[in-house]
Amino acid sequence: MAFSGLRGASSGLLAVLKKGSRLRRRKPSAKTQTAPAAHEQGPASAAIASLAPLTRIISQYLDSKDVERVKEAYRFSDQAHLGQFRASGEPYISHPIAVTEICAGWKLDAESLMAALLHDVMEDQGVAKQELAERFGADVAELVDGLSKLDRLDFATKAEQQAESFRKMLLAMARDVRVILIKLADRLHNMRTLDAVDPEKRRRVARETLEIYTPIAHRLGLNALFREMQDLCFHAVYPNRYAVLHKAMMAARGNRREVLGKITDAVKMALPAAGIEAEVSGREKSLYSIYTKMVEQKKSFSDVLDIYGFRVIVHTLPECYLALGTLHQLYRPVPGKFKDYIAIPKLNGYQSLHTTLVGPYGTPVEFQFRTRDMDHVAEEGVASHWLYKEDDATLNDLQKRTHQWLQSLLDIQSQTGDSGEFLEHVKVDLFPDAVYVFTPQGKIISLPRGATPVDFAYTIHTDIGNQAVASKINGEFAPLRTELKSGDAVEIVTSPASRPSAQWLNYVRTGRARSEIRHYLRTVKYEESVAFGLRLLNQAFDQLHLPHPADDDPEWEKLAKSSGASSREEILADIGLGKRLAAVVARRFAPENAMLATTAAAVDEITSTASAPILIQGNEGQAVQLAPCCGPLPGDAIIGGIRLGHGLVVHMAECAVAQRQRAREPERWIPVVWDTTTARHLSTRLDVTVINERGVLGRIAAEITEADSNIMHLTMQDDAAATALLHLTVQVDSRKHLAQVIRAIRHVPQVQKIVRIKG
């Protein structure tokens, strides 16, 4: 790593001593305590935090120069936290040392270890980022800054502050994965020492850890840390349940010792006999995983049988499959309990063969088969290959997957303005399980459980997602809301005329798909609103017989400043969305009374002036909507109402809803007519009463198809045995086309009555 701004150890220590009094005067944070009086200090607070264990660890893989740099960071941190104690009574410096020891266990580089030692000096002690950069280098300063929360800014709520702090940390992590590794080490040590805080804070921190940090640890493949965090959180949130389950586990361990011993001896004899040299170890499932299994499957502890498992570590990949076959001959496998994560690794890079065998006395036991390298990755994940490279060609598979996920955070951030929404998208992506589907080219794509073809489309490319109209799953057409299953081959059918629907947000599962859809809808709605607002404003200028102002007319800037808008486009968008009346804005450009406030009489003057109505095509987008209450079609007499925040809503002139709204706010209604060219495939509803005979529905569907229409939705009501009422939603081009469809339906002899539903 590049390093700049480093001073010699002696000069650095001298600088720290010179600043000692200033550092001691810094106000401690709420999570620390100032030193108690000498006569109040207990044994814990009198303890001295030692750097010796950390020095021994890092000396094994860092050179002497880097070790000295880490020691200098320790001296600075120790001086900065001088006089502060943790809630347990220990000197505060013991926490940064413990965090750094965890990082050293992953063999992180010197900059990471220095940042771990200094991770609280900016947040708690007010040390400037520039000061850290000058003393320890820009890399260390950036890491510490990414780890520091936004405590000194004003936020409306605690939740908003927390969400913005998470966003800052996750974006720093997207730039450099070492940020999250240090943060996870920090959170792990906090969880290990959580008994010192009050129960309410203990539960709050534990829930936050379960919601954010354990999924991130799992996502990065840090399984050992993931399991420990889960158990610590379980103990903090449900201490009584934890104690009862722990006691039951200890009892079960004694009861099943004989069974496990038999299995161990049999396996250790069978594998060498097959020529396989392996390391066999038994393990217990974590208490939290057993607890969640009991809750999800509504089982008691005695019903959860597979609480023990064995791990078989071999030298080569083929030996994994040979060992699996050997044990399948030794014990009977449980059908459906075999998973091959070697051929298809988990999203976090985990590779292993899983099988469940029925051991002696009918006890089910899980076995995992992996190589030593796979075991290393399984326990430490991305930390086992933590080096963050910019060149994708040099990344292994695990690093590539991590790199892609981190990049997706930046993509989501670029389309999300609100920190709470950003955090929501990230939480969606922190899924504990996945399904694996195939592209038409045979590439494997990992998606969260419950994902749909829409999620798949956006995973491939944003344009494919935006233009998706249908999907093929295993060669057959399927709705876009279909949940995908592992092994599905998925193909997306696209159309340049298609665009995302707001309804997709109801069933997408990935954060990327959700953010892309929302971004598109926001952008398109704004652009359409600007265009439609310009049409409305030009109509108002024509009614007042005023010239249309140029785009750079100074009056636009004056109007924007006086009304709180940022630009001409924002004013036009507000007109298109119904937030401003075109009449009011047009009046501001009248030369004789430029600043005259528009009165109700002025509005009446404009609305009563004869002028060309707005032309409606039916495909304008979100700025113009066809009212669902009456479903107007080209050929129907229509009227348009400007609805606040929604733009123009077009109703049939006879619509009762429109008439009531127009009576309340007449100034918001404008004349509209159908354009000569209108959109195709508009929806309308029909109620068809038929004699309830076999095959009648098929004949009606055939007639509708013959009339060049399509059934969008159908329900049937058959209260009487002799007749049935069909509720149809069909696609037509105009009122004339609808008449053709109705005539075609009448060809079916069983049809008794057809009614178009207009409200």
Give the model's confidence band at 19: pLDDT under 50 very low, under 70 low, under 90 confident, else very high.
Answer: very low
Two tokens at 67? 């070790």
Q: How many CB atoms lie within 10 A of CB 487?
A: 12
Residue 101 appears among annotated catalytic residues: no
Give the model's confidence band at 120: pLDDT under 50 very low, under 70 low, under 90 confident, else very high.
Answer: confident
Does residue 142 sit in the same domain as residue 68?
A: yes
What is the distance between the alpha carbons of residues 262 and 260, in angstroms, rounded to a whole number? 5
Residue 124 appears among annotated catalytic residues: yes
Q: Is the separation of the CB atoms in 658 and 666 below 8 Å? A: no
- The CATH number that applies at residue 464 is 3.10.20.30
Instruction: Answer yes or no: is pLDDT of 385 > 70.
Output: no
This prediction's pTM: 0.54
Helices assigned H by DSSP within 485-625: 511-543, 554-563, 568-576, 582-587, 600-608
> What one-character-per-residue DSSP string does 487-504 give?
T-BEEEEE-TT----GGG
Instruction: Answer yes or no: is pLDDT of 369 > 90.
Output: yes
Summarised one tens digit per residue, pLDDT across range 298-308 is 877 777 766 77
Give the model's confidence band at 9: pLDDT under 50 very low, under 70 low, under 90 confident, else very high.
Answer: very low
In a domain, 688, yes or no: yes
Over range 1-9, report the average pLDDT.
34
Contacts of 673 (CB under 8 A, 6+ apart): 613, 614, 615, 616, 638
What's residue 299's pLDDT?
79
What's residue 39's pLDDT?
33
- Higher pLDDT, residue 728 or 258: 728
Domain end among 129, 148, 167: 148
What's residue 413's pLDDT?
57
- CA-wise closest residue to 637 among 669, 665, 673: 673
What's residue 561's pLDDT?
75
Provide the residue count of the chain.
759
Instruction: Answer yes or no: is pLDDT of 275 > 50.
Output: yes
In a domain, 256, yes or no: yes
Does residue 539 sit in the same domain as residue 671?
A: no
What is the distance between the alpha carbons of residues 263 and 269, in angstroms, rounded to a whole number? 10
Bridge partner residues of 616 (DSSP): 674
Instruction: Answer yes or no: is pLDDT of 164 > 70.
Output: no
What's residue 152's pLDDT?
43
Domain limits at 569?
520-609
Domain end among 148, 167, 199: 148
Over range 634-656, report the average pLDDT.
81
Which of 66, 72, 101, 124 is catalytic? The answer is 124
Does residue 351 sit in the same domain as residue 254?
A: yes
Beta strands 624-626 and 647-652 are parallel
Of 278-282, 498-502, 570-574, 624-628, where does the model show the most confidence? 278-282
In a domain, 605, yes or no: yes
Sign, Cα dihedral of 284, 287, 291, 296: negative
What's residue 442's pLDDT?
80
> What one-character-per-residue DSSP string does 190-211 give?
HHHTGGGS-HHHHHHHHHHIII
Over range 544-559, report the average pLDDT.
80
In a domain, 221, yes or no: no
In a domain, 365, yes or no: yes
Q: Is the separation of the CB atoms in 437 and 484 below 8 Å? A: yes
In a domain, 469, yes or no: yes
Of 64-78, 406-420, 529-543, 719-733, where does the model show the most confidence? 64-78
- Give how many domains the chain has, as a whole number: 6
Over range 305-317, report the average pLDDT.
83
- pLDDT mean across residues, the chain: 77
Under DSSP, is residue 188 helix (H, G, I), strand (E, B) or coil?
helix
Over range 153-162, report the average pLDDT.
52
Which of 72, 90, 120, 123 is catalytic? The answer is 123
Of 113-127, 167-181, 461-475, 596-610, where does the model show the most confidence? 461-475
Under DSSP, is residue 285 helix (H, G, I), strand (E, B) or coil?
coil
What's residue 10's pLDDT?
32
Sign, Cα dihedral of 30, 35, 41, 46: positive
In a domain, 214, yes or no: no
Give the model's confidence band at 169: pLDDT under 50 very low, under 70 low, under 90 confident, else very high.
Answer: low
What is the distance between the alpha carbons of residues 288 and 285, in angstroms, rounded to a whole number? 8
Summarised one tens digit per residue, pLDDT across range 684-704 is 889 999 888 888 888 998 898
Q: DSSP state, 137?
A: -
What's residue 384's pLDDT?
55
Give the model's confidence band at 537: pLDDT under 50 very low, under 70 low, under 90 confident, else very high.
Answer: confident
What's residue 453's pLDDT?
93
Q: Distance of alpha carbon 325 from its chain centroid, rounded?
A: 40
Q: How many CB atoms lie within 10 A of CB 103?
A: 26
Q: Is the separation of the CB atoms in 744 and 706 below 8 Å? A: yes
Over range 356-368, report the average pLDDT.
83
What is the distance between the alpha carbons of residues 731 and 725, in angstroms, rounded to a whole number? 19
Summarised one tens digit per residue, pLDDT across range 489-521 is 899 998 887 888 877 888 888 878 888 887 787
Over range 445-472, report the average pLDDT.
87
Q: Distance of alpha carbon 486 from its chain centroid, rounded?
A: 21
Bridge partner residues of 756 (DSSP): 686
Does residue 443 sit in the same domain as residue 311?
A: no
What's residue 88's pLDDT?
79
Does residue 369 sit in the same domain as residue 270?
A: yes
In a domain, 403, yes or no: no
What's residue 167's pLDDT?
64
Instruction: Answer yes or no: is pLDDT of 606 > 50.
Output: no
What's residue 640's pLDDT?
85
Q: What angle do CA 348, 350, 351 make, to 5 degrees?
A: 150
Does residue 666 sit in the same domain as residue 726?
A: no
Two tokens at 382? 């991305």
- The CATH number that applies at residue 52 is 1.10.3210.10
Helix (H) or strand (E) holding 54: helix 52-58
Does residue 672 sit in the same domain as residue 698?
A: no
Domain end among 95, 116, 148: 148
Does residue 551 sit in the same domain as residue 534?
A: yes
Give the model's confidence band at 49: pLDDT under 50 very low, under 70 low, under 90 confident, else very high.
Answer: low
Q: What percent of the chain is predicted at pLDDT more than 70? A: 76
What's residue 318's pLDDT?
92
What is the distance between the alpha carbons of residues 575 and 581, in angstroms, rounded to a whole number? 6
Contacts of 420 (CB under 8 A, 6+ apart): 159, 160, 163
Contacts of 669 (CB under 8 A, 6+ apart): 607, 639, 640, 641, 642, 661, 662
Over range 241-262, report the average pLDDT.
79
Residue recorded with tokens 């941190």: 77
Does residue 348 sit in the same domain as residue 314?
A: yes
What is the distance between the alpha carbons of residues 337 and 360, in angstroms, rounded to a whole number? 18
Does residue 140 sit in the same domain as residue 2?
A: yes
Over range 566-579, report the average pLDDT.
78
What is the chain's percent helix, strand, coil content, to nearest 5?
Answer: 50, 15, 30
What is the distance between the alpha carbons of residues 95 and 32, in angstroms, rounded to a whole number? 11
Over range 449-466, report the average pLDDT.
89
Of 315-324, 339-348, 629-638, 706-715, where does the model show the most confidence? 315-324
Tell me which long-range contacts 586-592 makes (C-beta under 8 A, separation of at least 24). Answer: 586/537, 586/540, 586/541, 586/543, 586/544, 586/546, 587/544, 588/555, 588/559, 589/541, 589/546, 589/549, 589/553, 589/555, 590/544, 590/546
Which amino acid appears at position 332 of this protein? R
Q: Is the separation of the CB atoms in 373 and 314 below 8 Å? A: no
What is the distance between the alpha carbons of residues 649 and 129, in angstroms, rounded to a whole number? 53
Instruction: Answer yes or no: is pLDDT of 322 > 90.
Output: yes
Residue recorded with tokens 């109705």: 742
Give the model's confidence band at 619: pLDDT under 50 very low, under 70 low, under 90 confident, else very high.
Answer: low
Q: DSSP state, 212?
A: I
Does residue 671 sit in the same domain as residue 711?
A: no
What is the distance between the alpha carbons of residues 651 and 670, in angstroms, rounded to a whole number? 11
Under DSSP, is residue 304 helix (H, G, I), strand (E, B) or coil?
coil
What's residue 531's pLDDT?
80
Sheet strand arrangement including 624-626: 624-626, 647-652, 638-643, 669-670
Give the model's confidence band at 174: pLDDT under 50 very low, under 70 low, under 90 confident, else very high.
Answer: low
Over range 171-185, report the average pLDDT.
77
Bridge partner residues of 714 (DSSP): 728
Contacts of 294 (CB under 8 A, 6+ apart): 300, 301, 303, 304
Summarised one tens digit per residue, pLDDT across range 220-244 is 778 888 889 999 999 999 999 999 8
Does residue 626 sit in the same domain as residue 583?
A: no
- Higher pLDDT, residue 374 or 397: 374
Summarised one tens digit per residue, pLDDT across range 409-427 is 656 555 555 555 555 555 5
